[in-house]
Amino acid sequence: MTSRGIFDDTIKDIHAAVQFLTREGFRNIFILGYSLGASMVVHWAAHREHRDVKGLILEGPPYSGSDSTRKHFTKWGSMPTYEEVYEKAQAVLGDDPYNSTNDETFVVYQATGPSRESIHSEIFTYKTWWFMKGPEAHNAKVYKHIGKINLPILMIRGENDELVEGWEPEALARILREAGNTSVRVRQISDAGHDCMENPDEMLKEIVNMMSACSRD
């Protein structure tokens, strides 16, 4: 994330990282984004480009940050609810959320699971939530931007992922193909959850295969 933690600003960080690598002499660059990071990579690639970036790996990419968050909050009976967070964020941030000097930290219990334990809780500031999870988080709505990308893309998802459903990467791949991108792969990693670390060998095999194929092209 950036120093202010704003989703929209991460495009600058990714671009700066790519420029640093090229200055260091790297010419076959692949960018991997995990979960929310996958959304950030899509945002960058849809609005910036660099000749030395050869492909993207999106691990656990959500179809839409705001829609996924609302669904999870509703499913698990989050405290506060999605609507309550949105209402409070409006009150705290005012008419210009990006430039607002007001902000507060808050915790959402039962955000991703049935208990109030930390594993199922999430912590935000209202400003960070607004730009990556809220209804106005347009740049985090992956489906709206991914069709602009022409780079080869590998999307991987653990078959037991409880946060990203199986249809989500498939729907994103369909958007890409309909937009003319023919170098799109979707791979389900067996016996794996959201971060695929239950089966790292299979995950790494898919990544290496994709990178090798793109490097030969």
Give the whole-angstrom CA distance, residue 203 versus residue 158. Answer: 9
Give the tens place of pLDDT for each residue, 50-79.
Answer: 899 999 999 999 999 999 999 999 999 999
Does residue 126 share a domain with residue 72?
Answer: yes
What is the DSSP code string of 1-25?
Answer: --TT--GGGHHHHHHHHHHHHHHTT
Number of domains in the chain: 2
Residue 110 belongs to domain spanning: 65-136
Nearest to 178 by CA among 147, 152, 145, 153: 147
- What's the first-to-final CA gap in the chain, in angstroms? 32
Assess if residue 1 is contained within a domain: no
Give a yes or no: residue 112 inside a domain: yes
Instruction: Look at the pTM and tell me if it is higher than 0.85.
Output: yes
49: confidence class by pLDDT, cuts 50, 70, 90: confident
Q: Is residue 159 part of a domain?
A: yes
For residues 17 and 71, state if they share a domain.
Answer: no
Same structural domain, 117 and 168? no
| pLDDT tens-place string over residues 27-36 | 999 999 999 9
Both 22 and 115 in one domain: the answer is no
**Size of the chain in residues:** 217
